[in-house]
Amino acid sequence: MAASPKLSPAGSLNSSGSNVFVSPTAVAGSQVHGVHGRVRLGKDVDLPTSASEDASGAPNQNRSWMDVKRKNIAAYEYLCRIGEAKQWVEACIQEELPPVTALDEGLRNGVALAKLARAFEPELVRKIFEDPKLQFRHSDNINYCFQFMKKVGLPPSFMFELTDLYDLKNVPKVIYAIHALSHLLAKKGIAPKIKNLIGKLDFTEAEVTAMQENLDKSGIVMPSFGNVDKTLEKEMAPQTEEERRLEYLRAHEDEIVQCQAVARRHLARKRAEVRREEVAAQRRAEEEARRVEEEARRVEEEARELQRRREQEARVREVARQKREKEVLVPAATAIQAAWRGTVVRKALAERDAQLAANVHAIIALQSRARGYLARKHYAARRNFYRKNEGAIVSIQSWLKSKKQHSAYSSLMNLDNPPLPVVAKFLHLLDLGVHDVEEELAVENMKELAVKQIRENAALEAHLNDLDIKIALLVKNRITLDEVVKISSKKLKKTPSDEEMKKAAAVFQVNLKSLDKTSRDRLEAYQNMFYLLQTQPKYLTRLLWVMRNWSSDVVKRLIETCVLTLFSYAQNAREEYLLLKLLNSAIDLEVQDVEHLGDFVQGNPAFIKIVLQYVRGAKDRQYLQSVLQPCVKRVCDCTLDLELDPVQVYKLLIKEEESNTGKKSTKKYDVSREDAVKDPQTRERLQTNYQALEKFVSDMLESIISSLGRMPYGIRYIAKQLLEALSKGFPKEGRAEVLRVVGNLIYYRYMNPAIVAPDAFDVYHDPISPLHRKNLSEVSKMLNVIATGKQLDAHLEFAEPYVRRASQQFLKFLEAVTNVPAPEVQLNIDGYSDAARTTKPVIYVSPNEIFSMHATIHQHMEEVCGDPDDPLRKVLDFLGTPPSFQQDKTGPEISLTLMPRFAGSGDADKSNDYELRRLYVATKKQLVMAIRVQSNATNLLDLLECPATDREEERYREMTAGSPTSLYASVASMNTSNTNGTDAPPAESFAQFKRGVLEAMARLEAAGLVTRHDKYASMMASIVQDIRCKHRRRMQLQLEKASLETTLGTLKGKHDFLVEQEKSYMDYINACIQQLTAHHGSKKRRTLMPFSRHARHVRDLERKNKAVPKFGSFKYSAKELMDRGVIVSIEVDGLPSKLYDRLNVTLSSDEQGVFDVECTFSALGYSAAEHDTVKLEELLALQFENKTETQLFDGSVTVNVNLLIYFINKKFYA
């Protein structure tokens, strides 16, 4: 086999002695591609002198050499096209293909084409058959390629047939299809463009000639490779604007990502600058406040120091004076002088007192002016000081107020029951405008409208169900009528016997057996049972809980399978929502039964098997494949043994030593773990293995953490519910310990199986050797240690730092995993979804699964639904003892339309719930107003029971006299005594207002919503929660309003649909009745048999000038009808049975489906007549309810329902 052609440098010639085709880029005069001797024209090139001599001077051996050379050129170009296809396929699958001349045999088994399809669409290729011997199973590989071409949109005109490749009938068409596929994928931006290798490949002349001979022998018309792209564009539909936009985005993906990165960096820098400026401003304000405070303290200290100095000086002067007095010893002179001075002083004092007394008013005025002057001076100085330091003072005041407000707000946000005065400070956050009140009223009214619409739809559905039964009965009656006609057409002149009529009636009843009321009621009961199991998670939660200890493994497996079947394996939003609710309930029950947190991990909860089957769907498999496949491939490409068991590593080193030296090792083979760790070579190998293992673990951990946004919602919500249940059940456990349990679910239960067995989860498709499987197990063990926080072995102490860091990183990942919205938001499901559906939910189960579920629930009825008034208990009581079934067989599947047995029976309860909710909201708003008026109470009960003061009454009157946008206006609009939404007048006094609130609280307490025992703490907590979540509540109210608007629109659409369906049902029923009489009305009046009873009856009607009824009239004696079994008994006083032949019964019809029955008696000159009316649909309804007899003429005549229907069909419709 010739070697694969290689690219030749420009102007080079093949150095081999054989003739070759070379690159056309040679210089002038050198050879170009084509037949040997063909040269490139140039100015200095000498051409052959004659036609008999070629360009090299050799004589021409064949006159048709030009044709031969031209064909060889075509063969060369075809070889180049094969080379182009070969090079493009190799670039896509990253594998080398056989040479160009042998590529057809290389592609024949379809392996390369299947790998090409798997490179772009892995889910299409399940398994590639790679047996070296060509077999017909290789055609599956080619079919994978066909499926891929169809999926990417390759036009059929470019595709080849299976025999073109498998039988090598048309290989050029295969190469042409690969060229077209390359252009299509390159245009979509998911594959490289195919290169043009014409003139760049070298082939020997023998190869070119052999190829041309094969082409001539096959007689295949060579496709046009040169314009395949243009032809493909003509075949393809023109691109839409959206497709062109997506193509442009794919082509410029890197530039768009770079632009987004630059924009994000710019926004991040701007946010950082704004934050720094805010921090700096806050720091400057705090420094200024501290400086002002220090200055104030310094001034105060200086004033105190000055006061101390003055007091000290006064004490010194007093001491000095006393000392001087002691030192003076002139007693007599001192006494005289003292007496004299005293007299003088007393005289001067008396004069002064007289002067002051004479001028007291002037002195007082002068003192007042002096004091005013000093006060104004002090005030001006203080004012100037305040103005000078106004900024600092304002900052201090703001800081003090904020600290006080922050303390109160912290109490409000953090305390379970904050004091009522604290709550009163923040009641302004609950101020409601007119728009807020209108929004809440609109939501409540929309809920009432939704309930009313649900009731109307339920009534319509019930009516349609009755019409459906009626249609089925009419259709069945038509089938039976055909049987009657068939019987009567055998012998027209022969009247059927009584036995034949009874037999026909029996056949009639057997054919209606599937439409009888008993069978239908039983079917509806099963449908209701599965509806309750699907929509009420408490039943299956209890059943699974009981079954883990009582039921056999076979029944448990069957029930688990039936549970997933009941929820249709969560294939749509509704079933997924209901299944998640079931798992949530099961988790709560499981956690309540666990005493220690570790017991939950070590045990095997009942719901885990359902969770594992739920998370093994297509979405989860695709997620695990995208996350783990690159990492698993890198592990499988590694040739090292990542063993971390020191004993196994020690023994492996001994084997390697003995294999390399050929001598028995001197080391002891069987050693303990401690001795193995002490060996230096073992420790070195352990560290080497760990370094490689750490790289694989880091890659896989990084891939898992970065895939958070792609993780399916279901497993994340289950993790969230498990975290909340464990945190509530074990409040003393740390957050990290609880997250470890969640990590056991996320990693060990969810991801670990796909790592240790990647081939079973479509993560890795190539064969996995035992070494690679063991390495994957080592990676899985290390990841399990990181996820669950288990302790490492003592010999791996060098791995502790990395495991600790990785464990903290995985804990943050688990926190992010559990941060998901509620299913109602994520799946857009609410309580009205089922009521708004135009089609009821349908499940497909086998009869064996139905009976198995029935038997299991019936066996554990007391544990699952012990209350006699429980809806499921009523259904089970109606169904009775379950039928027998085989536990190891399922049988064929049937469809069950899930629906409640009594549609709309819970609507009244829902309406009452809505009324209670309205009362609760209104009472809460009135309490808010009461707290504003009287904020000094300790709790709500004290507030409502203590008498109102005059000041509180005055404040109440001020508040109630406010504008329409005041708080009371919003409260009054939802007054407890007003349920229709109109405004109610306010109470005359605050005491009367509180009495009304107490009455409303009593109604709420009777409904179990509040209680006096805790002093209405639950209502207080609700008010606090409203304050905390005011903005969130407003957003939630808007979302609820939008959801209700959508629901009402859907319910309206369903109502219109049901009305239209009702109309079509009525039209169909009328058409059925018309069709029953069409055969009789389309024919001319049947020929009357002369001297027959019917002829005499018709002549009697004509003789009495009575019109013959439109649809016929027939007359029989009562005795004849009794002999036929139509009449069962006659109870007429004074009428013996021997006179029954004188009692005539006339049955006539002048209206579709309505029959007049006339009973006449004539004997001994006495005559009497009675009339009654019978409707066909009423007879069919009686037959449906399995009632064989009915009475006419006020109970005087009893008839057989089945035989009467047969008689009517025979006489009026045959």
Burial-class residue 35 by CB neighbours within 10 Å (0-12, 13-18, 19+): buried
Ranges of H-type helices in 328-359: 331-358
The residue among 1026 and 718 whose pLDDT is bigger is 718
pLDDT band at 673 (very low <50, low <70, confident <90, very high): confident
- d(CA 467, CA 1065) in angstroms, rounded, equals 7
Cβ atoms of 638 and 692 within 8 Å: the answer is yes
Predicted local confidence at residue 815, as pLDDT: 92
Catalogue the long-range contacts made by 985-993 (C-beta closer than 8 Å, 24 or more residues apart): 986/960, 989/948, 989/953, 989/956, 990/930, 990/933, 990/934, 990/948, 990/952, 990/953, 990/955, 990/956, 991/947, 991/948, 991/953, 993/926, 993/929, 993/930, 993/956
Instruction: Enter the tokens of residue 194.
Output: 């195919």
pLDDT band at 983 (very low <50, low <70, confident <90, very high): very low
CA distances from 126 to 117, 762, 772, 833 (A): 11, 9, 22, 38
Q: Could you tell me where the beta strands, DSSP code E, fall in 1033-1188?
A: 1113-1117, 1127-1130, 1143-1151, 1154-1163, 1166-1175
Predicted local confidence at residue 49, as pLDDT: 42
Average pLDDT over residues 557-564: 69
Average pLDDT over residues 188-203: 87
Average pLDDT over residues 665-680: 83
- d(CA 97, CA 90) in angstroms, rounded, equals 7
Cβ atoms of 408 and 418 within 8 Å: the answer is no
- Would you give the DSSP letter of residue 46? P
Range ranked top by mean pLDDT from 40-54, 166-180, 355-369: 166-180
* b/e map 590-621, b = 16+ CB within 10 Å: bbeebeebeebbeeebbbebbbeebbebeebb
Predicted local confidence at residue 795, as pLDDT: 76
User: Which is it for strands 20-21 and 203-204: parallel, antiparallel or unpaired?
Assistant: antiparallel
Instruction: Give 1157's strand partners.
Output: 1147, 1172
Nearest Cα to Cα of residue 891 among 495, 668, 558, 401: 558
Instruction: Enter the tokens of residue 719.
Output: 């993790």
pLDDT band at 512 (very low <50, low <70, confident <90, very high): very low
Interhelix angle 770-788/735-743, nearest 10 degrees: 160
Residue for token pair 């009777």: 1006
Predicted local confidence at residue 379, as pLDDT: 92
pLDDT band at 282 (very low <50, low <70, confident <90, very high): confident
Q: What percentage of the chain carries pLDDT values higher than 70?
A: 77
- d(CA 53, CA 859) in angstroms, rounded, equals 105
Instruction: Give 59's strand partners.
Output: 53
Using the predicted structure, report yes or no on whether residue 506 has a pLDDT greater than 50.
no
- Would you give the DSSP letter of residue 203? E
Predicted local confidence at residue 1087, as pLDDT: 55
Residue for token pair 């009026």: 1212
Using the predicted structure, report yes or no on whether residue 153 has a pLDDT greater than 50.
yes
* b/e map 499-510, b = 16+ CB within 10 Å: eebbebbeebbe
Instruction: Give 1127's strand partners.
Output: 1199
Instruction: Give 53's strand partners.
Output: 59
Average pLDDT over residues 250-273: 86
Predicted local confidence at residue 449, as pLDDT: 76
Q: Please name the amino acid found at residue 815.
A: E
Predicted local confidence at residue 17, as pLDDT: 37
Residue for token pair 């209701």: 528
Predicted local confidence at residue 928, as pLDDT: 86
- d(CA 757, CA 763) in angstroms, rounded, equals 9
Residue for token pair 């390629």: 145
Q: For the residues of 352-407, what is the DSSP string, one character each?
A: HHHHHHHTHHHHHHHHHHHHHHHHHHHHHHHHHHHHHTHHHHHHHHHHHHHHHHHH
Cβ atoms of 689 and 644 within 8 Å: the answer is yes
Cβ atoms of 121 and 148 within 8 Å: the answer is yes
Using the predicted structure, report yes or no on whether residue 1199 has a pLDDT greater than 60.
yes
Residue-level length of the chain = 1214
The residue among 99 and 1057 whose pLDDT is bigger is 99
Which H or E run contains 1003?
Answer: helix 990-1006
Cα-Cα-Cα-Cα dihedral sign, residues 168, 170, 174, 179: positive
**Integer Rg of the chain from CA:** 51
Using the predicted structure, report yes or no on whether residue 514 has a pLDDT greater than 60.
no
Tens of pLDDT, residue by residue over 817-833, are 999 988 887 876 765 55
Compute φ and ψ for 1159, nearest 5 degrees. Answer: -115, 120
pLDDT band at 840 (very low <50, low <70, confident <90, very high): confident
Query: Edge-to-edge, what's the strand order for the sheet holding 1166-1175?
Result: 1113-1117, 1143-1151, 1154-1163, 1166-1175
Predicted local confidence at residue 1103, as pLDDT: 64
Q: Please name the amino acid found at residue 1110.
A: K
Lowest-confidence segment of 180-194, 389-403, 837-851, 1125-1139 by average pLDDT: 837-851
Compute φ and ψ for 902, nearest 5 degrees. Answer: -115, 95
The residue among 261 and 494 whose pLDDT is bigger is 261
Average per-residue pLDDT in the chain?
A: 77
- d(CA 997, CA 974) in angstroms, rounded, equals 13
Lowest-confidence segment of 236-245, 297-306, 388-397 by average pLDDT: 236-245
- d(CA 97, CA 88) in angstroms, rounded, equals 11
Using the predicted structure, report yes or no on whether residue 172 has a pLDDT greater than 90.
yes
The residue among 106 and 1100 whose pLDDT is bigger is 106
CA 1154-1159-1162 angle, 5° bins: 155
Instruction: Enter the tokens of residue 536.
Output: 């009420």
Average pLDDT over residues 436-440: 73
Nearest Cα to Cα of residue 447 among 832, 127, 92: 832
Instruction: Give 1200's strand partners.
Output: 1189
CA 190-194-197 angle, 5° bins: 165
Q: Please name the amino acid found at residue 1030.
A: K
CB atoms inside a 10 Å sphere around CB 880:
11
Predicted local confidence at residue 305, as pLDDT: 85
Using the predicted structure, report yes or no on whether residue 8 has a pLDDT greater than 70.
no
CB atoms inside a 10 Å sphere around CB 937:
18
Tens of pLDDT, residue by residue over 1058-1073, are 788 777 777 777 776 6
Predicted local confidence at residue 717, as pLDDT: 92
Predicted local confidence at residue 199, as pLDDT: 85
Tens of pLDDT, residue by residue over 441-481, are 777 677 667 767 776 776 777 677 767 666 766 665 654 54
Q: What percentage of the chain carries pLDDT values higher than 90?
A: 9
Structural domains present in the chain? 20-251 (1.10.418.10), 269-390 (no CATH), 420-438+906-1043 (no CATH), 516-585+830-905 (no CATH), 615-825 (1.10.506.10), 1087-1213 (no CATH)
- d(CA 902, CA 889) in angstroms, rounded, equals 33
pLDDT band at 1160 (very low <50, low <70, confident <90, very high): confident
Tens of pLDDT, residue by residue over 42-69, are 444 444 444 334 434 444 444 455 666 7
pTM of the model: 0.45
Compute φ and ψ for 1145, nearest 5 degrees. Answer: -120, 120
- d(CA 1119, CA 1135) in angstroms, rounded, equals 13
Q: In the chain, what is the straight-line distance between the N-terminal and C-terminal CA atoms, in Å? A: 86
Predicted local confidence at residue 549, as pLDDT: 64
Tens of pLDDT, residue by residue over 589-647, are 888 888 888 778 777 777 788 888 888 777 888 898 899 999 999 888 888 888 888 88
Predicted local confidence at residue 433, as pLDDT: 62
Instruction: Enter the tokens of residue 1080.
Output: 């009789």
Predicted local confidence at residue 963, as pLDDT: 42
Tens of pLDDT, residue by residue over 1099-1129, are 676 666 566 677 777 888 888 888 888 888 8
Compute φ and ψ for 951, nearest 5 degrees. Answer: -65, -40
